[in-house]
Amino acid sequence: MPGPTRRVERIAWRGGSLAGGERTIPEETAVAFTYGGSSYAVMMATPQDLEDFALGFSLTEGIITSPGEIEALEIVKEPIGIELRMRLAEPHATAFRERRRFLAGPTGCGLCGIETLSEAMRTPGAVADGSSFSPKEIMAALDAVHGLQAINQMTHAVHGAAFYRRDEGVVALREDVGRHNALDKLAGMLTRRGIPGQSGLGILTSRLSVELVQKAAAIGIPVLVAVSAPTALAVRTAEASGITLVAVARNDGFEIFTNPQRIREEQDVLV
Candidates 196, 197, 226; CA nearest to 211 is 226
Q: Which helix (H) or strand (E) holds 57?
A: helix 50-60
Catalytic residue (one of 45, 109, 190, 210): 109
- Distance, CA of 242 to CA of 221 (rounded, Å): 10
Phi and psi at residue 139, to the nearest 5°: -65, -40
Beta bridge partners, 103, equal 41
Residue 112 is a catalytic residue: no
User: 3-state DSSP call for residue 77?
Assistant: strand
Beta strands in the chain (DSSP E): 5-14, 17-26, 29-35, 38-45, 70-78, 81-88, 103-104, 159-165, 169-176, 201-204, 223-226, 244-250, 253-258
Active site positions, annotated: 109
